[in-house]
Amino acid sequence: MIQSIPSPKAEPFKRWLAKVGKERLDEIENPELAMGRMQELYEKKGYPKEWIDKRLRGIAVRQDLTDDPQRRAKRSLFGRPAAQLLHQWKARGVASSVEFAILTNEIMQGTFDLEVDEYKQVKSLARENLRDHMTDIELILTMLGEATTTKLHRDRDSQGVAPLKKDAKDGGAVAGRTRKDIEQQSGQPVVSRSNYLPPPSDGAVLENGAASGKPTKRKAIAARKKTKSEKA
């Protein structure tokens, strides 16, 4: 429709649309291009290279749980870990976003003793992607929980939400035991309040790089109830 507009002012926009369209078609044929574009975006936002590498691998692990085998086969070895979880869930009977959220929360609960919404409150996030604000060790543990869940789905040949939910709970528990071991050995909590939010314009101090401290689940739930009551 825009391409049919005969105005010279529309030409730059037409060229931009054509460029973006070609990029997306190229990414469909070669998913590694999308990974490269995502890496550039994270670099422009100032994320460290080591963090970006872990984040991209984490994306691959999760996608594999929710996508189909034919698309997964097109991915490189680098991309396979991040794509597995969503592939598996789709192929094994998960159909709604609510069911995806339930399974995700089972893994997060087992790994960090926090559901996704509670975790986002800890990091002072609203609509931001939680994983974009995780530390290296938080990302690694999330990947461990999801990769373990994927393995359990395959080994047990689980079908339907109830068996998949049990796998997610068991996979999260594996990562959760690892987290507790790390905390015992280091003497420090793994769950961090730090985030990658940009500095506020009013000069207030953010928690980026602040000392991490693991709040209790009770506090996170109380904060959520308080927010709901204020809205009411």
> Cβ–Cβ contacts within 10 Å for residue 144, how many?
20
CA distances from 135 to 38, 130, 132, 187 (A): 18, 10, 9, 17
Q: Which residues pair with 65 in a beta bridge?
A: 87
DSSP H or E run through 56:
helix 49-64
What secondary structure does DSSP assign to 57-103, as a single string? HHHHHHHHBTS-HHHHHTS-TTTGGGSSHHHHHHHTT--SHHHHHHH
Half-sphere exposure of 164 (CA within 13 A, CB side): 25
Residue 167, pLDDT > 80, answer: yes
The closest alpha carbon to 223, from 102, 101, 119, 109, belongs to: 119
Query: 68-77: long-range contacts (C-beta < 8 A, 24 or more apart)?
Result: 74/31, 75/31, 75/32, 76/31, 76/32
Radius of gyration of the chain (CA): 20
Which is higher by pLDDT, 169 or 31? 169
Name residues whose C-beta falls within 8 Å of residue 208's C-beta, 6 or more positions apart in sequence. 194, 195, 196, 197, 199
User: Which sign does the torsion angle of CA 146, 152, 155, 158 carry?
Assistant: negative
pLDDT for 170-192, tens place per residue? 999 999 999 999 999 999 999 99
Tokens of 6: 């005969």
pLDDT for 89-119, tens place per residue? 989 999 998 999 999 999 999 999 999 999 9
Q: Provide the whole-model pTM.
A: 0.60
Q: Residue with structure tokens 């399974």?
A: 103
Residue 48, pLDDT > 70, answer: yes
Check if the beta carbon of residue 34 is closer than 8 Å to that of residue 59: no
Check if the beta carbon of residue 219 is closer than 8 Å to that of residue 196: no
Check if the beta carbon of residue 150 is closer than 8 Å to that of residue 61: yes
Average pLDDT over every residue of 18-33: 56
Percent of the chain with pLDDT over 90: 40
Q: What integer pLDDT is reported at residue 164 of this predicted model?
A: 96
For residues 37 and 42, give the distance between their C-alpha atoms in angstroms, rounded to a whole number. 9
Angle of helix 136-156 versus helix 97-112 axis, rounded to 10: 120
